[in-house]
Amino acid sequence: MDTLECIKTRRSIRKFTTEEVPRKNLEELLEIARWSPSYKNSQPWEAIILSGAKKKELSTILVGLLEDGKDNSPDLAYPTSWPERENTNIKNLMAKRMKLTGVDLGTPEMIFKAKKANFNFYFAPHAIYLFQDASLSEWSLFDIGLFAQSLMLAAHAKGLATVPQAFATDYAKEVKECLGIPASKRLILGLSIGYPDKESPLNAYRTERVETGKICRWME
For the chain, the structural domain boundaries read 3-78+119-206
Mean pLDDT (the chain) is: 94
Task: Say whether pLDDT at 19 is over 90.
Answer: yes
What pLDDT is stored for residue 205 in this prediction? 78
Question: What letter does residue 133 receive in the DSSP assignment?
Answer: E
Q: Percent of the chain having pLDDT more than 70?
A: 98
Prediction pTM value: 0.94
CA dist 18 and 111 (Å) reads 25
What pLDDT is stored for residue 22 in this prediction? 98
Task: Say whether pLDDT at 183 is over 70.
Answer: yes
Residue 186's H or E segment, with its range, is strand 185-194
Band (pLDDT 50/70/90 cuts) for residue 44 is: very high
What pLDDT is stored for residue 137 in this prediction? 95
- For the chain, the farthest-separated pair of C-alpha atoms sits apart, in whole angstroms, at 59
Q: Which of 97-101, 117-121, 211-215 has the least mean pLDDT?
A: 97-101
Of the candidates 184, 190, 219, 169, the one whose C-alpha atom is nearest the C-alpha of residue 12 is 190
Q: Which CATH topology does 3-78+119-206 take?
A: NADH Oxidase (3.40.109)
